[in-house]
Amino acid sequence: KLIDLEWRIQSKKFSELFAQISEDTIKGIGISWSNPFHPYAKYIDVIANDSSLELMNHLLTATATHDKIILSCWDYELEKIQLLKQFEFKLFRKTYMETYEISSLLKQLEQEQSTQTLIPLLEILNEPTLEQTLFKLLKYNYEQTHLDNPAKDVPWQTWKGILLDDTPDFNLSFVSVEENNILAYIFLHPISPDHYEIGWVGMNNPTNLLPILKQQLIQLQRQGVKTVEFEIDTTNHMAWQFAALLQLEKK
């Protein structure tokens, strides 16, 4: 488990670090850090056996400017979940991360038809008005799906930089446009030659995202891409539109 935190410790990307030491051996670690993009939360983690309660008590004090404390864990970390229950943490979001075969998804999407005009991200970036509209919408949608952990208020140009730094596929990230209004967007990100990630998903008004996804999957399959991965939060009502397709209710 320490492997997940080693980079943070080595690069000193933390605010606090507590170690429980017995007979010259570290028995447990409690660590906290901040996220400048989500400035109101203090993030913590605990790696320990017998000293979990003591380390947690240290981490829960002196929150300074933060008004909430967040700890993330996997569903199989049962001991950590029990620890959180002792301290009356509230579960505010679940995240589903899973990989799917493109061929299997396309079979389920056979009946989806689209009359939407889909424009690649590359073209949107060459249209100043559409570009500004897109990234203002992306900013708004992100803020609305992170009400429990508000993001820092930054200009839309910053959101553009964040997306472009995440290396999207400029040709296969589609934006749905109607009469110069942006209806929806789905960004794709290459992970390897045969595997992609479905990135940020959003819409302006209620829009069927499945036809957009279908066209993207068809293009990926033509390029020889075999699988795609989704990361969907329960706080994101837009991406949750994929729940039935991905059978998330059973997971």
Query: What are the tens digits of pLDDT across the range 140-182?
Result: 999 999 999 999 999 999 999 999 999 999 999 999 999 889 9
Name the band, by pLDDT with cuts 50, 70 and 90, for residue 62: low
Residue 64 has pLDDT above 80, yes or no: no
pLDDT at 114 over 90: no
Q: Say what the pLDDT of residue 67 is.
A: 87
Q: How confident is the model at residue 251 (pLDDT cuts 50, 70, 90)?
A: confident
Mean pLDDT of 64-93: 91
Q: Is 116 within 8 Å of 181 (Cβ atoms)?
A: no
The mean pLDDT of 189-214, rounded to a whole number, is: 96
pLDDT in the model for residue 127? 95
Average pLDDT along the chain: 93
Q: Which residues of 9-47 are buried (b: 16+ CB within 10 A; e: fewer)?
A: eeeeebeeebebeeeeeeebbbbbebeeebeebbbbbbb
* Amino acid of residue 85: K
Nearest to 160 by CA among 149, 173, 172, 147: 173
Task: Using the Cα atoms of residue 92, residue 198, residue 100 and residue 237 in order, give the sign of their dihedral.
Answer: positive
